[in-house]
Chains A and B, each alone.
Chain A
Amino acid sequence: MKFRAVMIDAGPMREFTNIVTTISKLSKECVLRIASDQLYFIVSDENSGPAPPILWCEIPHSIFFSEYQMVGLDEQHKDIYLGFNSGNLARSLITLKSAKTLKMKLTKKQGPCLTLDIEVPSACSQQTRQVTHDIPIVVIPRKMWSDFQEPRTPQPDVSIELPTLKQLRTTIDRMKTMAAEVVIRASAEGRLTLQIKTDMAKVSTRFKDLRVETYGGPIDHSDSESETQINEDMSKVCHCRVDAKKLSMFLSADSISHNRTVCSIIHKKLVILCLQTEENVKLQCFITGIVY
Chain B
Amino acid sequence: MKCYVPGSNVKVLGRTVHALARFGDELYLESLPECMLLRTLNAAESAYAMVKFNKNFFSYFNYNYYSTEDNEGLKCKISMKSALNTFKSPTHMDKQVENLEIKLDPEACKLIFQLKCKHGIVKTHYVSILDCKAMQAVYTKDSVPNRITSSQRLLSEALTNFQSSDDQVTLEASTQSFILRNYTECSADSLKVIRTQINLKPLEFTSYTIGTETTITFTLKEFRALLSFAEALSLPIQLHFETTGRPAVFIVHNGSTFEAHFVLATSKADNATQATATQNTTIDRKRKESSFQDSARKKVHIDNDISKCLDEDSHLFNFIDIPDEIPPPSALFNGDGAINGVNEETNNVNSSKINNDIDSDHIPASPTAKAMIKSVFRRCFESTFDPRAIRGVILAEDSDSE
Contact = CB atoms under 8 A, between A and B. Distances in A.
A210 B199 CA distance: 52
Nearest to A134: B195
How many A residues touch the partner, as a band? Answer: 20 to 34
Nearest to A130: B199
B394 interface: no
A136 B193 contact: yes
Pick the 5 closest A-B CB pairs, nearest first.
Answer: A134-B195, A110-B273, A130-B199, A132-B197, A88-B194
Interface of A: 85, 88, 91-92, 94-95, 109-111, 113, 122-125, 127, 129-136
B160 A94 contact: yes
A170 B3 CA distance: 54
A129 B190 CA distance: 26
Residue in A85, A123, A130 whose Cβ sees the most chain B Cβ within 10 Å? A130
A253 B204 CA distance: 38
B194 A92 contact: yes
Contacts of A109: 195
B4 to A, nearest CB: 37
14 contacts: A94-B160, A110-B190, A113-B195, A122-B157, A122-B204, A123-B153, A124-B153, A129-B158, A132-B197, A133-B161, A133-B194, A133-B195, A133-B197, A134-B197
Interface in B190-213: 190-201, 203-204
Given A91-B163, A129-B204, A122 B154 contact: yes
A130 B198 contact: yes
How many B residues touch the partner, as a band? Answer: 20 to 34
Nearest to A115: B195
A133 B193 CA distance: 10
Interface string B113-155: 0000000000000000000000000000000000000010110
Nearest to B165: A91
Contacts of B160: 94-95
Interface in B286-313: none
A122 B151 CA distance: 12
Residue in A110, A125, A129 whose Cβ sees the most chain B Cβ within 10 Å? A129
Contact of B198 (A110, A124, A131, A136): A131
Contact of A135 (B151, B190, B194): B194
Contacts of B151: 124
B191 A136 contact: yes
Nearest to B153: A124
Interface of B: 151, 153-154, 157-158, 160-161, 163, 190-201, 203-204, 273
B196 A92 contact: yes
B195 A127 contact: no
B195 A85 contact: no
B191 A111 contact: yes
Contacts of B161: 94-95, 131, 133
B194 A91 contact: yes
Contacts of A124: 151, 153-154, 157, 204
Nearest to A110: B273
A106 B161 CA distance: 20
Contact of A129 (B163, B193, B200): B200
B242 to A, nearest CB: 25
A60 to B, nearest CB: 27
Contacts of A94: 160-161
A94 B201 CA distance: 22
A88 B163 CA distance: 9
A127 B197 CA distance: 17
A189 B193 CA distance: 51
B156 to A, nearest CB: 10
A131 to B, nearest CB: 5
A227 to B, nearest CB: 47
Contact of A131 (B154, B192, B197): B197
Contact of B194 (A122, A123, A130, A134): A134
A135 B196 CA distance: 9
Contacts of B193: 136
Residue in A85, A111, A125, A131 whose Cβ sees the most chain B Cβ within 10 Å? A131
A11 B158 CA distance: 23
B157 A123 contact: yes
Residue in B160, B195, B200 whose Cβ sees the most chain A Cβ within 10 Å? B195
Residue in B153, B157, B191 whose Cβ sees the most chain A Cβ within 10 Å? B157
Contact of A127 (B163, B190, B191, B201): B201
A122 B163 CA distance: 19
A109 B193 CA distance: 12
A105 to B, nearest CB: 15
Nearest to A89: B194
Contact of B192 (A85, A95, A127, A133): A85
A129 B201 contact: yes
Contacts of B198: 129-132
A113 B195 CA distance: 10
A131 B196 contact: yes
Contacts of A136: 191-194
